Structure 1
Amino acid sequence: MADLEQNRSSSQTLADIEVVDYSKRAQWLRAAVLGANDGLLSTSSIMMGIGAVRTDAKSMILTGIAGLIAGACSMAIGEFVSVYSQYDIEMAQIKRDKAAQVGGDGGGKTHVMSKEEMIEREKALPSPFMAAAASAVAFAGGAMVPLLSAAFVKGYRLRIGLVVGMASLALVLFGMLSASLGRAPLVKSSIRVLVGGWLAMGITFGFTRLVGSISHYN
């Protein structure tokens, strides 16, 4: 009898424990890593582009700051609109389910959800504001890497080298994090991200220098 009561008590204790959905956490973390990687790569490329035609640190840093602000705002607005659309769709479905429960289906087969279940469904919906804020913060965090690399260096060549070097290191780390979250091979994923980043920075640098040289002669 005592064992039975103990088992019941253990079952109640386990039922009272809040279940954590780690898959949702992984999705948020992966989105944050991708946002930071986007901020790192786009800001580094923009700074390399201006560095192709201007040698002063002020121009490069101001361009990087402008890229950070514009990119963070763009990411936030895009994420807000996207998640809000999903939120509206889910809320519309919840309202239809509520109406169906009130009306029934005429055959007595409708599963009547409790008020608590409805509340839980609404709580589980994604927050557009949180998604927008997280996206902007992640982008800005990634963009700070090249900005801090160039902020205190006056020499042109050293500044360019530091931006490329720190961006490369961060790209490898982001590639490893993304691969770990996606259960992909670490080395292969990191190399793919790194090479892609080099291409983006190199193409931006090269084309900007080409356009700058053409404009100079004209």
Structure 2
Amino acid sequence: MRMARHRERHGVQRAGWLRAAVLGANDGLVSTSSLVVGVAASGASGTAVLTAGLAGLTAGALSMAAGEYVSVSAQADVEHADRALERAELAASPAAEFDELVGIYERRGLPRELAEQVATALSDRDALAAHMRDELGHTELSRARPLQASAASASSFAVGALVPFIGMAAPAGRARLTLIVAATMLGLAVAGALGARTAGTALLRPTLRVVLGGCAAMAVTALVGVLTHTAVG
């Protein structure tokens, strides 16, 4: 009798691009809406508000792409350096590296004899891979992917940044500000819920965290806009 295949779904496979995408979407929503709210609160014209929003979207998406690529590339450089160092250590002191691997398995609960058998089997297959995984914690699932992270961050930023533009459909003044804030809060709630669902966590706390953080940012920039309008006007 053939047993049905057991399937498991874990979030580690999505950790790299998910982190970048959630960060990008939240930044796009919060930074662009805050920029638009601040400019609108200053009494600027609709054209000025729209121009500021588009400039913020473009600059933000490019900045996220570049920043994510640089930071994840630095992580990839560390992984490459670790691999080169481990390869050199294996070539210089294979016996010591083998004992180190045995010690790792013993600390995880295996008896000495079984730990040696496991270390022997894994070393015969791919000693470098065994040390990278069990000594340093580097796996294929956690490998740094700069291009993937950069694309996810930039595209999600752009999508998130488009949400506050819904408010531009309202007439200038209080109605426009209200619609921008409402659309942004809804977008933040959706982004927070999607991020939590994709990560496999409960929805309420991550969603509230995202919404409250965005509201605080909009409130501060709106205050700055009002004070600037008062001072300059």
TM range (shorter): 0.7 to 0.9
Q: 1:109 to 1:202 in 2, by over 3 A?
A: closer
In the alignment, what sits opposite 1:91?
A: 80
Shift of 1:77: 1.9
Distance 2:127 2:23 in 1: 37
Report Cα offsets for 1:8-55 as digits up to 9, x if no partner. Answer: xx9xxx8xxxx9864221553243123201110110000000001234
Superposition pairs of residues 62-141 of structure 1, within 5 angstroms = 62-106=51-95, 109=98, 111=123, 114=126, 125-141=143-159
Distance 1:135 1:55 in 2: 30
1:59 positional shift: 0.9
Query: What are the ranges of 5 or more consecutive residues in structure 1 without an aligned counterpart?
Result: none
Residue 187 and residue 102 in structure 1: after superposition, are their counterparts in 2 closer, same or farther (change >3 A)? closer
Mapped to 2, the partners of 1:203 and 1:140 lie a distance apart of 22
Q: Which has the higher contact order (CA 8 A, sep 6+)?
A: 2
Query: Any stretches of 5+ residues in structure 2 without a counterpart?
Result: 100-122
Checking the alignment, whether the CA contact within 8 Å between 1:91 and 1:122 is kept in structure 2 is no
Q: Are 1:206 and 2:223 matched, yes or no?
A: yes
Distance 1:50 1:33, change over 3 A: same
What residue in structure 1 maps to residue 39 of structure 2? Answer: 50
User: Among 176, 190, 196, which residue is 1:173 paired with?
Assistant: 190
Q: Deviations over 1:67-118 (max 9, x none)?
A: 1122112222221121111111111111122223333434683735539959
Structure-2 separation of matches of 1:104 and 1:45: 57
1:20–1:213 Cα change, 3 Å: same
Q: Which amino acid aligns with 1:197?
A: G
Between the two proteins, the alignment pairs up a number of residues equal to: 202
What secondary structure sits across from 2:152 in the alignment?
Answer: helix
Post-superposition Cα deviations, 1:110-158, rounded to whole Å, max 9, x if no partner, equal 735539959x9796632212211211111111101112442x4444333
Structure 1 residues 182, 213: closer, same or farther in 2, change over 3 A? farther
Give the C-alpha shift of residue 199 in structure 1. Answer: 2.0
Q: Does 1:37 align with 2:26?
A: yes
SS at match of 2:98: coil
For residue 156 of structure 2, what is the amino acid of its counterpart?
A
After TM superposition, give the deviation of residue 182 of structure 1 in Å. Answer: 5.8
SS in 2 for 1:76: helix
